[in-house]
A and B are shown apart, each in its own frame.
Chain A
Amino acid sequence: MVNYFKSIWVGLTSILVGMAITIKYFFSKKATMQYPEERWQMPERFRGMVKCDSSKCISCLYCVNICPVSLITLESVKVDVPAKVINLEGKEMKRLKDVTKFEVDISKCIFCGLCIEGCPTGAIYMSHEYELSCYSRKDMVYQYATPPQVPPAEKS
């Protein structure tokens, strides 16, 4: 009988100890954030959507080969007059190929960041965009290069 009341007493006090903690937070500043109105400041290294500046790309195919899920399709053509690109170490490099297709299928992306690590010119990079939902799978495929300009067929 004594034990019965004792356990009720112990239970009640431990509830009160717990309630004291929750009530303390009831009156303190809220820890949550109202998301669409307020937004996080993304850290500098944040790995968001994969993007490419195709004018810097020298089509070395590093990103295509390292990608574990092979989401990048890269096509290029040789150019007669090589352009010049400055690489990450500050040296000038010849850009012998012109990128005609640089497709990124973001629906496959696992955001591992292996592709951006080895890029010699910093052409491929990860932006701070993180709201990537789309209405169709076609919209998830992003094109970053200008397709080759086909001369208009002559009228006969």
Chain B
Amino acid sequence: MSEKLKLDNRSTSIVKDAASHMAEVVVGEEMLINMGPQHPSTHGVLNKVLKTDGEIISEVFPQIGYLHRGLEKIAEKLNYHQFMPYTDRIDYLAAMNCNLAYAMAIEKLAAIEVPKRAEYIRVIMAELNRIATHLVFMGTMGLETGAWTPIVYGFREREEILDLFEMTCGQRLTYNYMRIGGVSDDLPNGFVDKARKFCDVLEKKLVEYNNLLSYNQIFIDRMAKVGVLPADLAVDYGVTGPALRGSGVKWDLRKNEPYSVYPELEFDIPVGKGELGKVGDAWDRYMVRMREIEQSIRIVRQALDKLPAGDVRAKVGRIFKPAQGEVYVRAENPRGELGFYVVSDGSANPYRLKIRTGSFNNLSAVPPISKGMMISDFVITLGSFDVVLPEIDR
């Protein structure tokens, strides 16, 4: 541009052009930036195309499909028991919760009654898994803000939970523990004591996490007032789970539409109040999860106390054929509502199985709230929604 000026220095019209050109340069050209597919703020592979003006984002286009496995089609080719291991792979960080939702859907479809002991064991497992995934969230949230130690602490306690799962069902990530009509095995010897001891340890460690990360001034400055999701927008986009509760909406399926034995257990629903910023900011979403861990400990303790004796598995045929019909069952997962819509045509395989996951809707609310945001704030916003990619792509 400066060369242009030198060449036609005397011509006023060209100088005027140059001035207008200069103004354009200051405003800047919009630029498309690829963020991802591999990025630490997502658990999985997600490509975000950002339309940016310098450091400011004007639009976000999430590109999904990197982890598509066609689970819904696979379900049509397998019988009801065989699909259970695949539900582990919907949300690999909370496989027990996914197992529970699928088992409940098929039990409702085939009108199978589950023994009381099995229901309690299921709730214990689901809540322990909820704690485990929230601990991973705490660690990764630290990573996104530049704190490297919390993930080590989070994984240390998660390890204890995985040990409990391993002694119960034999696996550490893809459990396949629940069966249609109950659970695969009874609790092993020493599980109850070990779980109680773990609850006591975790309660002390939670104080440590809060001192280390949650109430750290740098962390708060980074998180508060960033990525504010208003309650009405959250409801419009179908956001569920801790992301919705972070916006101040008290909606939890465990209370509002109780399933399993949750009505018999006492617990509160933590809601974002905007203590340090605005209601619905990233810190609120973070803190709702940390408080949910406390509530999950409460639930696990009560369930361990109330654990009845008896069978853990109802008698279900190896290949059973539910009557014609359809059913939609949803459960409160750590990342939002997980719903299974199952249609049966009376054969051994489901005719159609649709999975509704929390992460998909939660991700759809990210683009509208990230307009006019800095790129580094976008990382925080996306991280605070805690999306898991296999849940989005299925």
A114 to B176, CA, bound (A): 9
Q: How large, as a class, is the contact surface on chain A? A: 20 to 34
Q: Taking CB as reference atom, which chain B residue is nearest A31?
A: B156
Rounded to whole angstroms, the CA-CA distance of A46 and B86 in the bound complex is 19
Determine how close the nearest CB of chain B comes to the CB of A9; give it in whole angstroms: 9
Q: CB-defined interface of B213-256 with A at 8 Å, one 1/0 digit per residue?
A: 10111100000000000000000000000000000000000000
Residues of A5-62 whose CB lies within 8 A of B: 7, 10-11, 13-15, 17-18, 21-22, 31, 43-47, 62
Tell me if B138 is interfacial: C-beta within 8 Å of chain A.
no
- Which residues of B lie under 8 Å from residue A66 when comparing CB positions? 81-82, 318
CA distance A18 to B213 in the complex (A): 8
Contact of B166 among A7, A46, A113 (CB under 8 A): A46
By the criterion CB–CB under 8 Å, are B85 and A126 in contact? no
B217 to A45, Cβ gap below 8 A? no
Instruction: Determine whether B174 belongs to the interface, using a CB cutoff of 8 Å to chain A.
Output: yes
Is A18 a contact of B170 with CB atoms below 8 Å?
Answer: no
A82 sits at the interface (CB 8 A): no
Nearest CB of chain A from residue B174's CB, rounded to whole Å:
7
A-B contacts at CB below 8 angstroms, number? 73
Pair B81/A110 contact, Cβ less than 8 Å: no
Of the candidates B86, B174, B216, the one having the most CB atoms from chain A within 10 angstroms of its own CB is B216
Also in contact, A43 and B166, with CB within 8 A (given A7-B217, A15-B216, A18-B211): yes
Tell me if A14 and B217 are in contact (CB < 8 A). yes
Residues of B within 8 A of A47 (CB): 169-171
Check A45 against B185 for contact (C-beta < 8 Å). Answer: yes
Docked complex Cα distance between A15 and B218 (Å): 8
Residues of B within 8 A of A22 (CB): 149, 212
For B218, what are the chain A residues with a Cβ–Cβ distance below 8 Å?
Answer: 11, 14-15
List of A residues within 8 angstroms of B174 by Cβ: 110-112
The reply to whether A112 and B176 contact each other, CB–CB distance below 8 Å, is yes
| Contact count band on B | 20 to 34
The reply on B389 being an interface residue by CB < 8 A is no
- Shortest Cβ distance from residue B143 to the other chain A in the assembled complex, whole angstroms: 15
Is B168 in the interface zone, CB < 8 Å from A? yes
CB < 8 Å neighbour of B169 from A31, A45, A110, A114: A45
Of A21, A45, A68, A112, the contact of B168 (CB 8 Å cutoff): A45
* Residue-wise interface mask of A (103-115) relative to B, using a CB-CB cutoff of 8 A (1 in contact, 0 not): 0000000111110
Does residue A118 face the partner (Cβ distance < 8 Å to B)?
Answer: yes
The minimal Cβ–Cβ distance linking A106 to chain B, given in whole angstroms, is 15
A-B contact pairs, 22 of them (CB 8 A): A10-B217, A11-B218, A15-B217, A17-B211, A17-B216, A18-B212, A21-B211, A44-B188, A45-B169, A46-B170, A47-B170, A47-B171, A66-B81, A68-B86, A110-B85, A112-B84, A113-B170, A113-B176, A114-B84, A114-B85, A114-B176, A118-B318
Residues of A within 8 A of B (CB): 7, 10-11, 13-15, 17-18, 21-22, 31, 43-47, 62, 66-68, 110-114, 117-118, 126
- List B residues at the A interface (Cβ < 8 Å): 78, 81-86, 149, 156, 166-171, 174, 176, 184-185, 188, 208, 211-213, 215-218, 318
Add 6 more A-B contacts to A18-B213, A46-B170, A68-B86 (CB < 8 A): A45-B167, A47-B169, A66-B81, A68-B82, A110-B174, A112-B174
Q: What are the 5 A-B residue pairs with the smallest beta carbon separation, nearest first? A: A112-B85, A47-B170, A45-B170, A43-B167, A14-B217
